[in-house]
Structure formats: C-alpha cells, structure tokens
C-alpha cells in the first residue's frame, strides 16, 4: 500500500504553499466525513444509488488531494 497522500502531487498543485495545503486538507476532511456518514446511512443490501454517488464523490475528493489509495478503493466500490 502506498502513502496516504502523494505529497509531490499535492505540492505541485499548491506550488508548495503550506497554508493552501492546510486549507485543502481541512476541506477534504470535512467533505470526507460527510461522505462517510452518507455511506454508512445508505449501507444496505442490494443496489443503492445514493451509496454509489457518495462513493464516487469521495473518490473524486481523494483524487484531487493525491490520496491515490483511497481513490482506488472508492473506485472499486
């Protein structure tokens, strides 16, 4: 398993601005908590469109942050 976050990618995205990185992490953590709560609330047997949409949203957020392993797990979901 790789690093939780590809810091080279993130630093390239932010130009090395540590304050911007901190802000991005705060937004990512907040939105991730919401997605995970929705995933838990929609974890039922069979197909569930709300669950699929939340997994897709979490994948996108993870990809944008360079959290490649999380994004790959969400893509499989």
Domain residue ranges in the chain: 7-76
For residue 6, CA distances in Å to 40, 58, 61 come to 27, 16, 13
- The sign of the CA dihedral 26, 28, 29, 34 is positive
Separation of first and last alpha carbons in the chain: 17
Judge whether 61 and 28 are in contact, CB under 8 Å.
yes
* pLDDT tens over the chain, length 77 residues: 678 999 999 999 999 999 999 999 999 999 999 999 999 998 887 788 999 999 999 999 999 999 999 999 999 98
């Amino acid at each position: 398993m790789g690093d939780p976050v590809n810091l080279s990618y993130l630093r390239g995205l932010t130009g090395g601005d540590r304050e911007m990185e901190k802000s991005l992490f705060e937004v990512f953590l907040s939105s991730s908590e919401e997605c995970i709560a929705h995933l838990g609330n929609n974890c039922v047997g069979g197909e569930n469109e709300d669950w699929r949409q939340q997994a897709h949203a979490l994948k996108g957020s993870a990809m944008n942050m360079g959290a490649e392993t999380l994004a790959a797990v969400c893509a499989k979901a």
